[in-house]
Every structure is written in structure tokens, then in C-alpha cells.
Structure 1
Amino acid sequence: MPSNKWTDPQTIIAAFALIAAIYIGIVQNSINEDLKNLQDVVEIVATPGQKEKVLDSQAPFATVPIVALQNVGTVNIYLKGYFFNDSKYSANGTVLAKSSNIYHIDLPTNGTSKVSIELYYEDSLGRKWITNISATRNPVATTSPIAIASWNVSNVKRKEVTAFPEFQ
């Protein structure tokens, strides 16, 4: 009696093996895509800080508050510029290499208590990003002659954009 090739156990097993191989391939491609996306992370962290600044011969040094920007992602970042309380500043393509250097933005010392910074940058893959940073000055006790204002700094998660203003 001739056997039907569609009911033959070997054919059925081969069909299941083919379906399983296709499913495993689809799942593996999805895993590979997720791993690829994890390798190209763009992230800037903004933190408050202080730095010594040269003023003039009468008061040669002063400590000024800053926002320190650090690249904690996995690709290099090129800072194009930023808006500081609606005033435009160029960063001239300054490179923030992966976890190595820091870019400083001076905070005001004139009594201003809140600032906003809109930071524009590009990663080494050519993608353009924007991050919004805000800084709020904490009240300072005036009893200390060397009181330095501290600032709370926060940044909103970056957002990919298609274009940004010219910074020259």
C-alpha cells in the first residue's frame, strides 16, 4: 500500500522543524535589533558644580556655580550650541567623548534664581538631539561671608530632532 507523503511521520517532523526554525530566526533577529540599539546609547547628564574663575587683579579668583555636562552614553557627542534663558550660545562642535570630559556652562551670580538651558547636540552617527535643562538656585544663609549659592539642576530626557538652529 503506497504511503501518503503528507501523513508520513518524517514529513510531519520536518514541517514542525521548519516552523520552529523560522520562529527561532524571527526571535533572534528581534534580540539582535535590541542589542544593537543598546550599543548606540546617547545620554548627557547635567549636574551642578563649581569652578575657579579668574576675574581681575583686585580679586584674581572667584568660585562660580556651573552646570557640568557629561556624556554617559556609548557614542561621542558634538555640542552645537544652547539657549540659556533664550540667549543663543555656540559650543563650536565641542566633543564630549564617552565618559571622559566635561563641558561647563556658567550659572549666573547676579541674583537670578532660575535658568533654563536648551542644549543642541549631534552624536557620532549623525543623529541630532535636544535636551532641556533647568537650574534653580537654593536660598543661601547670608551669615557666612563665603556663602556660595547651591543650585538644583535637572534635565529632561533627550529627544531626537531632525534639525536645529545655526549656532555661529
Structure 2
Amino acid sequence: MRIYIVSSRNDHAFCRFDVTHDDAKCTHQQPHGIPDMKQIAPRALPALSQLLPVLGDPTPAEVAAYLDVSERTVYHWRAQDRAPRAALLALFWESSYGLSALDAELFNTAMVFKRLSESQGLEMANLQARITRLERIGDFGCANDTQRKGPHSAAPWVSGAF
């Protein structure tokens, strides 16, 4: 059984699980469901003129206070419609774009864990069925059983025989 989890944001958020018999392997290097920094941060960011209306058209003073820069800097960024990537990322995560990206990431992570849990549940049911079948076949005893039941009970233990 193969489970594919793909994020709609970028091609890095791709995780494939190959679940065969007793093994589950993920082609991604991070622990299952835990995205690395490259997956979460968007490669392409909206322009400043696209982000500000989504945030409710904050004043330059509000943006400056949020980003801990001067108002003059924000006016400069708005005039050029460019800002440093760090500032755009901070505004991106506050916007509906960033919240949507986080929601998709959380959904994908939840689906990974759900499918992994289902897979482990199926494996547990399979192992329980095997144990039940072996118990029905017969009582074979145990190597360290003190009661000496099973096919080897006829051979008494003699201390110091060897």
C-alpha cells in the first residue's frame, strides 16, 4: 500500500510512504509528518502591494510597529513595492495566504499520522490473527517454561549432564 501526501504550496512538501508487510518507509528525510524549514517557508512571496490589502490595509505606522522598523522605511518599501524577504515573510504569515499554507501543512501532517495509525492498526490486527492461529494449532511449550509442557516434556532436565 502506498500513501502519497502532497502539499499544494510547493514540490518539496512531498512525502511517500511505502507500507509493505511489516515495514513503513518515508522517502522524506524528516521524521514522519514533521516538515523541515524549506517546506514551510514559501519560495515565492506576494508583493508588498498584494499583502497589505489582505491584512486590512494597515497604516505605515502599524506596519512599522509590527516589524520594528521606522515609518520612513515602510513608506520607502511601499513606494518601491519591495521589502526585505524577512519583512515579507513576517507579513505573509499574518495574512490569509500564510494561514492557508499553515492550514494545508497541518492537514497534511494530520493525514500522515492518520494513515500511519491505520497502517499500524492493520499490522497489529494481522499479528493478533497470527498469534491466534498459532495458539489454535497447538501448545508447543516454551524453552524456559518451568512446567515442561509440550513435545519436549518427555526429556527430563538432568543437572550437570553436560
TM-score, shorter chain, exceeding 0.5:
no
Normalised by the length of structure 2, the TM-score is: 0.25
- Higher relative strand content: 1
Normalised by the length of structure 1, the TM-score is: 0.24
- Higher relative helix content: 2
